[in-house]
Amino acid sequence: MELKRIVVAIDSAHRSDHALEAAALLAEALESEIAGLFVEDSDLIAAAALPFTRVTTPFGGLAVDVTGDTLAGELKQQADAARRSLRRLSESRRLKWSFETRRGRIDREIRASALATDIVCLSTSEAAGGWAQVENAAAILLGFPRRDLSAGDIVVLIDDPELGEPAVEIAAKLALRNRRRLKIILVSSATQALSAWRQRTERLSGEGINVDIGACEDCDPYRLLDAIGKSPVGFFISGIRTVAAPGWIKACSATFRCPVLVLKG
């Protein structure tokens, strides 16, 4: 599975710092480009142009007039700030980067920008409708507002080899670059399947990666937490076909308190 870009979706309604950090960590390991996408919400601008629209200030709760032009100017300032943040982060880590501003419906613009070889990165607050936005992309990355992404195991959830092997490959690159332990969880109770995966991952130990492999009967986040053990999780990757629900992705992010990458089968 070739993943050429990580598209980080940014808009005025959500903080995206943690999404950028998660994207940068993954881009370093995969040697991928980070493509920032700021969406000026056309619905919001249209609403601001209505004569009865008011904005309540955060301090004092005062209602003030707002126009479409005023809001468009504020969105431009936010886009400029997002571009500067992406540039600083990318240049500090020597990552290839790009930035684009689009105006339109947020979900449509994200969907239109995502290619079949892209990972689309969303913030946690965007994820409720995130899956529909990335139907064209290869994977979805959900950021997490965590101060330190430099610690914790790299955990990968797998079942069949077709999607599991690319997931393990990504996890191994993350583990190797960041000197983390790689924890592989097989969703199966079959001893034979576990043995087969152990044979597949033997080469990773030879490459200097500390690998631990275990099993869990299903992919419920709390049962997975028991299978993972007491060690903190720094990055969680799903390589199973049976999971595609935004609710499950958010539950994993909240349970493991880390970024979540889901490959799409």
pLDDT tens digits for 144-166?
Answer: 776 577 789 999 999 878 888 99
Cα of first residue to Cα of last residue in the chain, in angstroms, is 11
**Residue range 106-111: average pLDDT?**
82
CATH (residue range 5-142):
3.40.50.620
Write the class of the CATH domain 153-263: alpha beta
Helix/strand/coil (H/E/C) assignment for every residue in the chain = CCCCEEEEEEECCCCCHHHHHHHHHHHHHHCCEEEEEEEEEHHHHHHHCCCCCEEECCCCCCEEECCHHHHHHHHHHHHHHHHHHHHHHHHHCCCCEEEEEEEECHHHHHHHHCCCCEEEEECHHHHHHHHHHCCCCCEEEECCCCCCCCCCEEEEEECCHHHHHHHHHHHHHHHHHHCCCEEEEEECCCHHHHHHHHHHCHHHHHCCCCEEEEEECCCCHHHHHHHHCCCCEEEEEEECCCCCCHHHHHHHHHHHCCCEEEECC
What pLDDT score does 128 carry?
45
Question: Taking all residues of the chain, what is their mean pLDDT, rounded to a whole number?
Answer: 82
State the amino acid at position 172 in one-letter form: A
Name the pairing type of β-strands 54-56 and 63-65.
antiparallel
pLDDT tens readout for residues 195-233: 888 887 888 888 889 999 888 888 888 888 888 888 889
What pLDDT score does 35 carry?
94
What pLDDT score does 144 carry?
77
User: Matching CATH topology for 5-142 and 153-263?
Assistant: yes
pLDDT tens readout for residues 13-69: 556 778 888 999 999 999 999 999 998 888 888 877 777 665 654 555 545 566 767
Tell me the domain boundaries of the chain.
5-142, 153-263
**Residue range 103-132: average pLDDT?**
74
Q: Which two tokens stand for residue 84?
A: 């500067």
Global pTM reads: 0.86
